[in-house]
Amino acid sequence: MCTSALGSTLQDTITFLAPSLDPNLCWPIRPTLRNELDTFSVHFYIFFGPNISVPPDRAAVFAINLMPVLDSGGVLNTELKLNLSSVKGENVTVFGCLNHGRPLSLEDNSSIKCESDSISGFLLSVNSSSNITKLRIPYPQTGTWYLSLRSLCSSGNGFQLCSNVTAEVYLRSYLTPCINDCGTYGQCKLLRTNNYLYAACECKAGWDGWGCSDPSEAYSYGFQLLTTLLLCLSNLMFLPPVVIAVRSQYLLEASVYVFTMFFSTFYHACDQPGIVVFCIMEYDVLQFCDFLGSLMSVWVTVISMARLKSIIKQVLYLLGAMSLSMALQLDRHGLWNLLGPSLFALGIMAVAWTVRTVRRRRCYPPTWKRWAFFLLPGTVIAVSAVALYAFVETEDNYFYIHSIWHMLIAGSVGFLLPPRAKPRVGVTPLKRRRGCGYQLCVNEHEEMGLVDPVPAIVTINSISINSIS
């Protein structure tokens, strides 16, 4: 560093960079204004910018200050754009050197480097053929970063000082959570490890890289379309349970199955990682309705198998819907959100079947055909579906296994849903025995409020006795 004869007030805010060994050549370091917008979202504004004039005889140096903890979990972006009209047709190249800790100078020689014996930085350059350049540094080191800009003209021996040509560049420096907001095939997420907060891209559809821009292992369009159709069309397996429920007069259960089929189809159409995506409403709403419909389908099916009284069944349906909604708000991806209600409903069904077995002194359901052709296959299918969901499904085979899960759950509902309840044979009312009895005969005129025109005649109700026929 070098000293200057400036006043003490100015020296407190501006430092100077010596570009060479000559201590008489001092370049001022211009500070930047910090504007915080959101978490890891900061813009650094340059005084009298963003267009910067880079004279031929000296460098323009800027200081960017990154706060500890607050700025280390994002991405530092720097963009340079050369104004072609400012170089007046000369073969001018503007070099930039961005480094941490202390500024580095670029000498006018054939070897342009952004490093010294102890530190190194990032080199940028813009010229007439390539007038835009961008630099992104994920998780930058906190402290002060320095950007040194120098304009040089190319010659046969390398680069040399330009003569009377002041290049003008557009400089933009800012901090973002993720690179390009992770693009089309990724999602930017804020993560926390111990006490360290940082942002990262969660890439989908096989894309990779800091900003999900590496397509080396990306899924093709045909594969994305196939996975979307598998996850959506597999929900059509709920149509047979809906038809069975309607024919068996289980209208409430049928409405739950229709709800599940509808929201599961459009949730998976919106949940796809690639470009084959279709959302009819917000993703969070579709996900909640899909999970709630799936759990309610299991709940109402098992409760209906218990053959409870209508009022008790309706109360259990309502309590189940409210309890499952609360559980899904706590943790939508928890395994016990599926197993807990299912085991509780199975316990209710087991108690109801045991009571009927004791009262009737015979096994319930009473027919072996019901056990052999409906309950046993339905139970095997349902257990297989839960096993696939809990132990086999992964991110790599999600498209196939989850589609099979849809079909198995819908198929088990078709087997386990009980048949239509037989109407109870009630006691028919006895026919009225005809015999002696009294019948009150009401005068029709008096009943209608009519008055006889002769006041002396009083109308009297009569009692008639029916004789035995």
Q: Report which secondary-structure segment, H or E, holds 134.
A: strand 132-138
Residue 103 and residue 143 in contact, taking contact as beta carbons nearer than 8 Å:
no
Residue 345 and residue 302 in contact, taking contact as beta carbons nearer than 8 Å:
yes
DSSP tag of 391 = I
Q: Which stretches of 285-380 are assigned E, i.e. beta strand? A: none
Beta bridge partners of 149: 60, 96
Q: Which of 182, 189, 186 is nearest to 205 (CA)?
A: 186
Residue 96 and residue 123 in contact, taking contact as beta carbons nearer than 8 Å:
yes
Give the span between the Cα atoms of 154 and 152, in whole angstroms. Answer: 7
Q: Which of 449, 88, 414 is nearest to 261 (CA)?
A: 414
Can you read off the two tokens belonging to residue 329? 């708000």
Radius of gyration of the chain (CA): 41
Can you read off the two tokens belonging to residue 291? 């999970």
Give the span between the Cα atoms of 389 and 378, in whole angstroms. Answer: 17
Give the span between the Cα atoms of 253 and 421, in whole angstroms. Answer: 14
Give the span between the Cα atoms of 444 and 272, in whole angstroms. Answer: 78
Residues 6+ apart with CB under 8 A from 35: 42, 43, 44, 45
Residue 201 and residue 187 in contact, taking contact as beta carbons nearer than 8 Å:
yes
Predicted local distance difference test score (pLDDT) of residue 423: 65
Q: Which of 80, 62, 77 is nearest to 145 (CA)?
A: 62
Residue 413 backbone dihedrals phi, psi, to 5 degrees: -65, -40
Predicted local distance difference test score (pLDDT) of residue 260: 96
Can you read off the two tokens belonging to residue 19? 């570009």
Pairing of strands 27-38, 60-66: parallel
Residue 5 and residue 17 in contact, taking contact as beta carbons nearer than 8 Å:
no
State pTM to two decimals.
Answer: 0.64
Amino acid, res. 56 = P
Pairing of strands 143-155, 92-100: antiparallel
Nearest 5°: CA angle at 60, between 59 and 64? 135
Beta bridge partners of 464: 439
Q: Which of 301, 303, 261, 250 is nearest to 413 (CA)?
A: 301
Pairing of strands 122-126, 92-100: antiparallel
Predicted local distance difference test score (pLDDT) of residue 273: 75
Predicted local distance difference test score (pLDDT) of residue 27: 63
Distances from the Cα of 110 to the Cα of 24, 159, 160, 329, 447, angstroms = 24, 6, 8, 64, 124
Q: How many CB atoms lie within 10 A of CB 437?
A: 10
Can you read off the two tokens belonging to residue 381? 């299918």
Q: Report which secondary-structure segment, H or E, holds 350.
A: helix 336-360
Residue 445 backbone dihedrals phi, psi, to 5 degrees: -65, -40
| pLDDT, one tens digit for every residue, the chain (469 residues) | 443 333 333 233 333 333 443 444 456 788 888 888 888 889 998 887 788 888 887 888 889 999 888 888 899 999 999 888 888 777 888 888 898 888 876 655 556 778 777 778 898 888 888 889 999 999 999 999 999 888 888 777 777 777 778 888 999 999 999 998 888 888 899 888 887 888 999 888 888 998 898 999 888 889 989 999 999 999 999 999 999 999 999 999 999 999 999 999 999 999 887 778 899 999 999 999 999 999 999 999 999 999 999 999 999 999 999 999 999 998 888 878 778 888 899 999 999 999 999 998 888 998 899 999 999 999 999 999 989 988 899 888 998 999 999 999 999 999 999 988 776 555 455 555 555 544 545 454 443 434 444 444 444 444 343 443 3
